[in-house]
Amino acid sequence: MRESYLPFSPPLIGEQEINEVVDTLRSDWITTGPKTKRFENDFAVYLQAPGALALNSCTAALHTALVTGGIGPGDEVITTTLTFAASVNVIEHVGARPVLVDVEPDTLNIDPRKIEEAVTDRTRAIIVVHFAGHPVDLDSVHELAAAKGLLVVEDAAHALPAKYKGHYIGSGINPAAFSFYATKNLTTAEGGMLTGDAEFLEQARVISLHGMSRDAWKRYGKGGNWYYEVTLPGFKYNMTDIQASLGLWQLKKLSSLQARRNKVVEAYHNAFLNEEALELPALRPEVEHAWHLYVLRLKDGACKVGRDRFIKELSDLNIGTSVHFIPLHLHPYYRKKYGFRPKDFPQAYNNYRRMLSLPLNPRLSDRDVTDVIEAVLEVVKRFRQ
């Protein structure tokens, strides 16, 4: 057993990021300024996206996208129940009704067939979530959305740098929201990015900063003008140059960080492939997985203990894990407001009961990975049915 506890997903911050932050702190700009603009441009170039808007969270990006898309009271927005609360909370924030649907049994992504069944004459948008970093079946979603005139918003919090049919998630014209939270493949501690059509982002930029016609950098920089107008009641969602300083170097390192993630995933796959008690993450041939999460599922009846006990046993062996996610329809707010029952979404519910996320981050050493593998296999052996 390990002597020290292995955290689930700590960040990997290097000297370049630290020096860039110090440089920012010694500069004239610590809030939204030139480094935020550089980060936006570099991010768009990396993804080959039409444009990018840096914000203070993925939640802000999702909320801004819905507001920019004109989604509001009386509208319905379809999304998955197997996601973090932010994906659905933002629908409530704009006064619309979230319509939850079930997931595919292999990828655990939103099921396009269930989306089609859920569309009504009040449906205005679909929020798809690229679960764990495996891209959604976007062709099916976009075909349906085009036929019904619906806005597609991608929750890409897990999906950097995933690809669907050779194209980066976020490279399209529809809005895609990314997260740079501390556990993500690229981190700015807190932060997010919205990509999409340039005209859409121009309006989103105004909405994301009080509805003002000029941001601070344009007003207070050399040649700027003090005058501004509030064109609508916007939000305070801007990213700072301190955050962007981290992002600039994290983006430069993303390929190498991702390569390490892939090595860890390969080791997990090879170790667990022939273990009959475990179901491995799915990987379809048309995608490149971002591997934000490595989600194992315990096969029904294979072990004498359930998922919760399995996690406790791993913790006792000093291995940190997590669960992604508690389905939204099980949380008190949504359960009480909309009358959901656990088995309303059987795929999400049954998979939730069996799933756990293993440590997956570029800080893991080969010894760490071996410790995780040995601990998982030990617990399986101890409690095999």
Catalytic residues: 184
Between CA 138 and CA 368 the distance in angstroms is 35
Spatial distance between the Cα atoms of 83 and 131, rounded to a whole number of angstroms: 7
Q: What one-character DSSP code corresponds to residue 161?
A: T
CA–CA gap between residue 145 and residue 115 (Å, rounded): 10
Rg (CA), the chain: 21
Token reading at 308: 């919760």
Beta bridge partners of 369: none
Residue 36 C-beta-side C-alpha neighbours within 13 Å: 24
Q: Tokens for 176? A: 């895609």
Q: Which two tokens stand for residue 293?
A: 């999460």
Name, in order, each residue with C-beta under 8 angstroms of 282's C-beta and a sequence gap of 6 or more. Answer: 106, 107, 108, 134
Nearest alpha-carbon partner for 177 in 203, 196, 156, 197: 156
Contact 83, 102 (CB under 8 A): no
If one counts every other C-beta atom within 10 angstroms of the C-beta of residue 114, the result is: 17
Phi, psi of 255 (to 5 degrees): -60, -40
